[in-house]
Structure 1
Amino acid sequence: MSKGSLYHHFPNGKEELLIACLESLSDTITLDIESIFSHYPTTQESIVAMIDKIIKKYETEGTITGHTFTSIVSEMGSLSDAVRKACISLYTKIEAIYESKLVAEGVSIEKAKAKALMITATIEGGIMLCLTKKTSEPLIVIAQTFQKTS
């Protein structure tokens, strides 16, 4: 693609292209999470199933693309406010899925918000550890921990 074509479709340049990619990835990630959560009766079972899916992808492909913005967000200091906001949007959507499932199980909205944040941080951290350590063990441990707790 020529530089002229890029700026024709994305007049604000590479940043606008990045934001379009982030929005597309956000839609893919949230649809996947919503699909998983709709197939299981509890938040706990949904989370374990989601983590199992991520583990299988890592173990078969050696990567965890399409499930996280972590690598992009880790460079947040150099990103613009618009890109940061696109990343916040995904995390907000993910937390809303978790929160909704928890509230449906009878958890208060306040506790559900706190638990949704904890779940997001735990899974995102687990993904980063898997990629860093080159093993799915961190996500396996997280899934086992969720299976043991209610």
Structure 2
Amino acid sequence: MLELIQTSGYSGTGLNAVIEHASAPKGSIYFHFPDGKEGLGVAAVELAAERFAELITQAAAASGGPGAAVRTAIEALTAIVAEGDFRLGCPVSVVTLEMGAESERLRQACATAFDAWIAPTAALLASSGLDADAARSLATVVVSTIEGAVILSRATRSTQPLESAAEVVAELVEQRCRAAEAGR
């Protein structure tokens, strides 16, 4: 379901397509997801949240500071978008845009997913000297910018929006962290 949402959107992904894509018997889908497509959509959003949270954690562990971590995470997303021929986008933003006003359950799953990305980013920023409120605010800007850059990259079939986001956001993060360090 996750892969199909990335390429076809939530509305464009029917259960029959999921069953075919997964090579699974129809009964197993309903056994594991008795509430049908909505339950499967929630599970897909949760999986996307886990995967991106892992990406953030890995970038933070492998990089030399929060600016480098942000750049590393965006570079990894850039590779995913480019290697997917600009067909793969963020399934959470797709579900939010398509279903956020229609299904409270899906909207809440998307809000939780975004928070699962903002919270560890904020923790990384806070560990670099920003106070909790400033760290949360900047983390929200980082995630929002990445989401927008993915959409623009898909629309323009170019990695330039993501590359620009990596450069500017990493610089902003470094400036804010240096300013917090100087203010201590």
Q: Return the TM-score normalized by structure 2.
A: 0.73
Q: Residue 56 of structure 2: SS of its match in structure 1?
A: helix
2:127 to 104, 122, 126: 104
Compared with structure 1, are the counterparts of its residues 4 and 53 closer, same or farther at alpha carbon in structure 2 (3 Å cutoff)? closer
Compared with structure 1, are the counterparts of its residues 105 and 83 closer, same or farther at alpha carbon in structure 2 (3 Å cutoff)? same
The match for 1:32 is: 55
User: Counterparts of 1:118-137 in structure 2 under 5 Å?
Assistant: 118-137=141-160
1:22 to 45, 53, 57: 45
Are 1:62 and 2:108 an aligned pair?
A: no
Give me the whole-angstrom Cα distance separating, in 1, the residues matched to 2:130 and 2:107. 30
Are 1:85 and 2:99 an aligned pair?
A: no
What RMSD, in angstroms, separates the aligned Cα atoms of the two structures? 2.0
2:64 to 26, 41, 44: 41
Q: Which has the higher contact order (CA 8 A, sep 6+)?
A: 1
1:67-124 deviations in Å (ceiling 9; x for gaps): 5522221213454111111111111010011100111010011111110111111111
Q: Residue 105 of structure 2: SS of its match in structure 1?
A: helix
Deviates more, 1:4-13 or 1:128-137: 4-13
The match for 2:117 is: 94
Give me the whole-angstrom Cα distance separating, in 2, the residues matched to 1:21 and 1:77. 15
Compared with structure 1, are the counterparts of its residues 58 and 3 closer, same or farther at alpha carbon in structure 2 (3 Å cutoff)? closer
Give me the whole-angstrom Cα distance separating, in 1, the residues matched to 2:120 and 2:57. 7
Higher alpha-carbon Rg: 2
- How many residues of Structure 1 are paired with residues of Structure 2 in the alignment? 150
| Structure 1, unaligned runs of 5 or more | none
Are 1:140 and 2:166 an aligned pair?
A: no
Q: Return the TM-score normalized by structure 1.
A: 0.88
The match for 2:95 is: 72
Q: CA deviation at 1:2?
A: 5.4
Compared with structure 1, are the counterparts of its residues 148 and 16 closer, same or farther at alpha carbon in structure 2 (3 Å cutoff)? closer
